[in-house]
Structure 1
């Protein structure tokens, strides 16, 4: 039986020919930084046209930063005009839970809910009443934002790349990943060194700069604290920071 040469490295992950994907890390209410990234993407496409292009936003659009409402305003436009792919982050999941059930407020509140509510013109007291805030938010949340939340995906795959907000559960095939892991997982994924069937592009855990590993890349550069929102452009086997 022929044995495989252990020195041969597996092929590098690649996208299909004539395809480019722009992936954007956690935005967290930084509408101004998103506007800059969107302009950069449009400029790059104008300078370097490609037959197929896609924008993938990795989730956590809301909370912590000052203008969650403004972020979703921009993303609804990209979703409609550019067919952008918007993934669900754990912060969107908490917002959705609160819209479904006011009792979810205590879980969401410590993670930036006040800033998001303020961006919709809703002020919160030190000990807010969940049902009152729930009613106010449902009253003011634009229909376009409701539809945006309904369009969120838990993952996206193209070529050898798999996109998820937080990561994947090691040793579970990608088609069987639980939504909870895709939007919440940390250590079990971050500490894993094995390949996951595809190269994983994710955010969720802030890093000082894009963290490129053999099996994944993390592009959450903590925009709301650092002022740096990261976008990468993937084409063929190449990954570049835009």
Structure 2
């Protein structure tokens, strides 16, 4: 099934939001845009699907997670697991196999959002214990309950993508949250249109077999969302490109 053929369930509007990476202000702005979109045109039911990577790189991972937990009481929401989210939880639990990568790829900002200031990369064991103590129970529960994928209508949602040649029901966790080039370069039909983030792009990238919603918010200041209703695709964005664009 390809874009243009895939359809959301009848009477349901789906909002799929790209990687937020600790940017609370951008998430607040985008949710305001989503609410304006709902006010302009009502729908029987809507669902917001967050595509993962809530932590690292941005300035307020802690505040963003609080915000997302609160939004779940206002909207029907699905929260997917991103590779950064998995790494953050593993770091807090002291089981990270590559702790230095946590620092190198934005973990320092995450620690700072919880009031932790490690001396240097070599201080990771102490920082791990500090994060474990500082992490609220609600945040630990949130991170531990994130889903690997979500299917709805003609769409399959995953943080990074899927492994070509493997049925959607048989995908491995590592591929769903980490895969990149093998997935991005595949031209064939995955069975459903895959909606994903993980790989920053300069725009929402709508391909025949997939839709990439990650517009690199942590660098670009543009957080994006695709709106799937019937077989139409629209784009909502923050910042200089705020508003909506109808996909051709």
The TM-score range, normalised by the shorter chain, is over 0.9
Q: Which moved more, 1:31-40 or 1:98-107?
A: 98-107
**TM-score of the superposition, structure 1-length normalised?**
0.93
Contact 1:94/1:107 (CA < 8 Å) preserved in 2? no
Q: CA deviation at 1:52?
A: 1.6
Query: 2:174 corresponds to which residue?
Result: 180
Residue 87 (structure 2) pairs with residue 94 (structure 1) = yes
Find the aligned partners of 1:55 and 1:16 in 2 and give their Cα distance.
14
Matches within 5 A, 1:15-26: 15-26=8-19
Deviation at 1:80, TM superposition (A): 3.4
Hey, what's the Cα distance between the residues in 1 that align with 2:204 and 2:161? Answer: 15
Residue 5 of structure 2 corresponds to 12
1:78 to 71, 78, 98: 71
Report whether the alignment pairs 1:59 with 2:36: no
Is residue 210 of structure 1 aligned with residue 211 of structure 2? no
Within 2, Cα distance between the matches of 1:186 and 1:10?
A: 20
Whether contact under 8 Å (2:103, 2:121) holds in the other structure is no
Count of equivalent residues = 234
> 1:156 pairs with 117, 142, 150, which one?
150
Alignment TM-score, normalising by the size of structure 2: 0.90
Structure 1: 5+ residue stretches without partners: 1-8
Shift of 1:81: 3.2
- SS across alignment from 2:115: coil
Taking a change above 3 Å as real, the CA distance of residues 134 and 77 of structure 1, as seen in their structure-2 partners, is same
1:115 to 89, 93, 109: 109
**Corresponding position of 2:241:** none
**Which structure: larger Rg?**
1
Counterparts of 2:150 and 2:3 in 1: how far apart (Å)? 23
